[in-house]
Amino acid sequence: MPKAHATSAGWRFAQDQSQWLRVGAASPVSLGRRLRLATLNCLHDLRDADLLQHELRYDAILRELAALDADVICLNEVTRTLLERVLREEWVRRSYITSAVPGEACCSQLSTLLEGSFGNLLLSKIVPVALEYIEQPGDLRCSHVATMDLLCDGGRQLRVAVCSTHLTAFPWLMEGRRRAQLACVTSAVAAAGFDVACVMGDYNFHREAENASIPDGWAELPAVVSLGATWDCARNALLPHYLPLRNIYNGFGLGQRFGWPSPMRLDRVLVARGAGAATSPTCEPGSARIFADQPLHVRARERPPLPMTGSELSEAHRSLPWEEYLHPSDHFGIFFELKLDG
């Protein structure tokens, strides 16, 4: 069985004490609307500070997240630096429970807080019944899972589990590990019990054929699938700028089949229905959208796409100012509204 560690129900900022304090399990909550969810891989700040302008990107990411007003936000590649930045935001302190805080013993071994590493983070406006970490096989990361009790129309109570996960990157060679990690996470979520569950984040599926790794009983939301790529060299000038050797195989004329294809749906949303739910959760057309997909400066919006090969890719454009290429992240985010039916 996968290992899961409980943290009670997360932490809320106490304004009168100016610190993050553990919260107890909450009573069932009636939303009276669809559940609003969001996921984004933030691109870690462990290298390439001049190229990636981490503070500027984080400013943009936090503005985008605040504007979403999501009930639950799932973030990937969160370093301690970004975590501390998130926890200083007034909108986070005012409205959200967090799945990790510095200085707490149960968080000390999370990759989110380890020096030179990164991990997941979950923010929830709804106070969870419980919050847990699930250890993934093959790396140091843990998925963060918030379980909450929601009241549907008619008063029926549903237990809803929302999970932030990030599977190991790299094409081809890591497909088996990703399959094992996804099986581990979904099994642990199922073992805890739910009526409706949602596991979202950077799945790093480099090929659509990896959909075969999706466990029985779990499925993608068609409205989210229809959004298309969340990692796209043609639409995100940051990618060819900071990964000039990404297409080294193309440079040798061997073709993309030996490299990393683009665009890709690296970020995914899987949902499942437990025995207590009358119908499966759905997301209606128009209730899902991509976010954090625009460059930070108008100059980048007016620039034609950077080349995928050649000297300009590997050399010349490295001297461009950030205004010409900077995006919030190398990934785009996914926001969607989940319709629950008791």
Q: Which of 6-15, 32-41, 91-100, 142-151 has the lowest mean pLDDT?
A: 6-15
Of residues 155 and 100, more confidently modeled: 100
Which residue is associated with the tokens 């981490």?
A: 54
Residues recorded for the chain: 342
Continuous H helices in 69-209:
80-88, 90-95, 175-192
Is residue 137 reached through a cis peptide bond, with omega within 30 degrees of 0 on the bond before it? no
pLDDT at 156 (0 to 100): 83
Q: Give the tokens for residue 284.
A: 């209606």
Percentage of the chain lying above the pLDDT 70 cut:
88
pLDDT tens-digit series, residues 156-186:
899 999 999 999 998 888 999 999 999 999 9
pLDDT tens-digit series, residues 280-319:
899 998 999 999 999 999 888 877 776 666 666 666 666 7
Q: What confidence tier does 241 reach under pLDDT thresholds 50, 70, 90?
A: confident
Averaged pLDDT for residues 195-201: 97
User: Of 73, 22, 75, which Cα lies nearest the Cα of 44?
Assistant: 75
pLDDT tens-digit series, residues 218-239:
999 999 999 999 999 889 988 8
Q: 292 and 59 in contact (C-beta within 8 Å)?
A: no
Q: What confidence tier does 153 reach under pLDDT thresholds 50, 70, 90?
A: low
pLDDT tens-digit series, residues 9-56:
899 999 999 999 999 877 888 988 999 999 999 999 999 999 899 999
Mean pLDDT of all residues in the chain? 89
Q: Give the tokens for residue 20.
A: 């993050």
Cβ-proximal residues to 90 (8 Å cutoff; 6+ apart), any chain = none
Helix (DSSP H) and strand (DSSP E) numbers for the chain: 10, 16
Cα–Cα distance measured from residue 155 to residue 264, given in angstroms and rounded to the nearest whole number: 41
Cα–Cα distance measured from residue 107 to residue 125, given in angstroms and rounded to the nearest whole number: 20
Kindly tell me if the per-residue pLDDT of 3 is higher than 60: no
Q: Residue 154 region, left (φ>0) first, then alpha (ψ -120 to 50), else beta?
A: left
pLDDT at 71 (0 to 100): 98
pLDDT at 239 (0 to 100): 85
pLDDT tens-digit series, residues 251-286:
344 444 445 567 899 999 999 999 878 888 999 989
Full-model pTM: 0.93
Kindly tell me if the per-residue pLDDT of 248 is higher than 50: no
Q: What confidence tier does 104 reach under pLDDT thresholds 50, 70, 90?
A: very high
**Ordered domains of the chain (ranges, CATH):** 4-230+265-292+327-338 (3.60.10.10)
Q: What confidence tier does 342 reach under pLDDT thresholds 50, 70, 90?
A: low
Cβ-proximal residues to 17 (8 Å cutoff; 6+ apart), any chain = none
Kindly tell me if the per-residue pLDDT of 328 is higher than 50: yes
pLDDT at 261 (0 to 100): 64
Which residue is associated with the tokens 């984080």?
A: 58
Q: What confidence tier does 152 reach under pLDDT thresholds 50, 70, 90?
A: confident
